[in-house]
Each structure stands twice: as structure tokens, then as C-alpha cells.
Amino acid sequence: MTKTAVEWLEERLTISMGDELKSLRGFFVIAKEMEKEQIENAYWDGGQDVPLNEIRCEQYYNETFNK
């Protein structure tokens, strides 16, 4: 499975900090949503502007990042 940068960072910090990271979980949820939006925007900016591609954009993200 491909990981986003935020997922990778969360994993590494969890390994390093363990339970100390719990207080930051909410920030990771927000960061992942922001990152998803950035990935989708990059998809659209790449010229994928056909209306049917809206479904493909979401499908790409879900398949690539297993969401």
C-alpha cells in the first residue's frame, strides 16, 4: 500500500513516541483531510476536468491510498 506523507509521519512518530502522541491524533486527522484535498486538486490541475473524472479522482485516491 502506498502511504501519504502524513501517514508515514504519523507512523514514524507513533513508533518513536508511543502513547505521548495520543494528544496529537486530531491534528493528524485534519492533516490527512488536507492532504487528500491537495492530491485531488493536483489531479484536477493535471487536466482531468471531464465531469466523469470526478468519480475517477475519488476512485484513484481510494485505490492508491486505501481509504
Model pTM?
0.69
Task: Report the domain count for the chain.
Answer: 1
Q: Which domain holds residue 47?
A: 5-65
Whole-number pLDDT of residue 62: 82
The pLDDT tens digits of the residues spanning 5-63 come to 999 999 999 999 998 888 999 999 999 999 988 887 887 777 655 555 667 777 877 88
Can you give the pLDDT at residue 9?
94
What pLDDT is stored for residue 50 in this prediction?
A: 59
The conformational region for residue 3 under phi > 0 = left, psi -120 to 50 = alpha, else beta, is beta
Residue 26 cell numbers, joined: 486530531
Between 5-17 and 25-45, two packed helices, what is the crossing angle to 10 degrees?
160
- pLDDT, position 42: 81
